[in-house]
Copies of this chain bind each other. A is one copy, B any other.
């Protein structure tokens, strides 16, 4: 049983008794071809299921019609950050409107971040790239700038040349959190920060220190804890802190996973957030349901919207818009009552689902 032949412009042209040129033109409504023929060609293309070969189109036009988003896989070692999928959905849906495809490249532990970007550029895997874990002097950003390769970074840099980015206001978020904790009477507030030299860790620290200064609280180096953001690593780091410093009454966590880690550590040390033994502040995307939601304030960022913004910037870049005008810093939304927030979202989603 031979498989049906693959349809390309040549076979389509032969089947119609036309030239390749005419068929190609007809498919994009070229004015030089008789309306009659256009209809006939489109009809045949539809029934035969013709779609242009992406490799061929690229070779001729230089455009792959693909955008690459880099997925940092080592972080998935234990739990994955579910929020990335929401971001992927946002990116994908937005790109779709301009008939771009998203390709997600997994950055495994064995490749350097720059290698991945270089490969995308040099092998022409995509027309542009989106990456996160951005550092102040990000080498990937520098590479893209040098080779004029379109990119949007999730996170700011400190590079001189302007470039497109989407970021969260981590400085503002942490400042707000610390201020409120102090108002509640907390004196020893720990800040949990990721390792890896990401720019936003610096913003978080700045917000923390600025709040302390404004509040007249002392800056204590030992209250700054840094570790990878996996559940286990942050649990270990948090456990260390809580064991060596029993005076800590509040922790400002980084992402959702580190919040889980903090909770596990608190429980292990016999401190129950639900009983008010420890205040936990979380940051991140749509929060999963947790054991101790009462003692938690959460700074929320809808990651699907992040993805949409990233994609919009990318599409604008490809349209030739200047990068200067494609820089977004999104505020966090503070949630004091997670339970209520959840039910509100639910009723909202149910209502949306009802009217399609």
Distance of A242 from chain B, by nearest CB (Å): 16
Question: How many angstroms from the CA of A51 to the CA of B50 in the assembled complex?
Answer: 31
User: Which of A19-27, A85-93, A180-188, A243-251 contacts the other chain?
Assistant: A85-93
CB-based contact A71/B54 at 8 Å: no
Question: How many angstroms from the CA of A84 to the CA of B84 in the assembled complex?
Answer: 11
Question: How many angstroms from the CA of A81 to the CA of B288 in the assembled complex?
Answer: 11
Interface 0/1 of A24-61, CB less than 8 Å to B: 00000000000000000000000001111111101100
Note all chain B residues with C-beta closer than 8 A to A286.
78-79
CB-based contact A85/B92 at 8 Å: no
Which A residues from 88 to 133 make CB contacts under 8 A with B? Answer: 88-89, 91-93, 96, 101-106, 108, 110, 118-119, 122-125
Contacts known (A3-B146, A102-B104); A71 close to B55, Cβ less than 8 A = no
CB-based contact B82/A81 at 8 Å: yes
Question: How many angstroms from the CA of A110 to the CA of B122 in the assembled complex?
Answer: 33
Question: How many angstroms from the CA of A288 to the CA of B288 in the assembled complex?
Answer: 8
Question: How many angstroms from the CA of A125 to the CA of B71 in the assembled complex?
Answer: 19
Question: How many angstroms from the CA of A350 to the CA of B83 in the assembled complex?
Answer: 25
Q: A264 within 8 Å of B by Cβ?
A: yes
Question: How many angstroms from the CA of A290 to the CA of B106 in the assembled complex?
Answer: 28
CB-based contact A350/B236 at 8 Å: yes
Note all chain B residues with C-beta closer than 8 A to A215.
none
CB-based contact A96/B124 at 8 Å: no
Chain A residues within 8 Å of chain B by Cβ, number: 71
Note all chain B residues with C-beta closer than 8 A to A345.
78
Q: A283 within 8 Å of B by Cβ?
A: no
Which A residues from 212 to 230 make CB contacts under 8 A with B? Answer: none
Q: A270 within 8 Å of B by Cβ?
A: no
Question: How many angstroms from the CA of A104 to the CA of B68 in the assembled complex?
Answer: 10
Question: How many angstroms from the CA of A146 to the CA of B6 in the assembled complex?
Answer: 12
Question: How many angstroms from the CA of A123 to the CA of B81 in the assembled complex?
Answer: 31
Q: A179 within 8 Å of B by Cβ?
A: no
CB-based contact A49/B85 at 8 Å: no
Question: How many angstroms from the CA of A57 to the CA of B238 in the assembled complex?
Answer: 50
Note all chain B residues with C-beta closer than 8 A to A49.
118, 122
A65's nearest neighbour on chain B, judged by CB, is B123
CB-based contact B102/A105 at 8 Å: yes
Distance of A232 from chain B, by nearest CB (Å): 5
Distance of A304 from chain B, by nearest CB (Å): 7
Distance of A162 from chain B, by nearest CB (Å): 14
Distance of A150 from chain B, by nearest CB (Å): 12
Question: How many angstroms from the CA of A290 to the CA of B288 in the assembled complex?
Answer: 9
A→B interface (CB under 8 Å): 3-4, 6-7, 49-56, 58-59, 64, 71, 73, 76-86, 88-89, 91-93, 96, 101-106, 108, 110, 118-119, 122-125, 146-148, 231-233, 235-236, 260, 263-264, 286, 288-291, 304, 342, 345-346, 349-350, 353
A-B contact pairs, 9 of them (CB 8 A): A51-B122, A54-B124, A55-B59, A73-B92, A78-B349, A80-B85, A102-B104, A231-B289, A233-B353
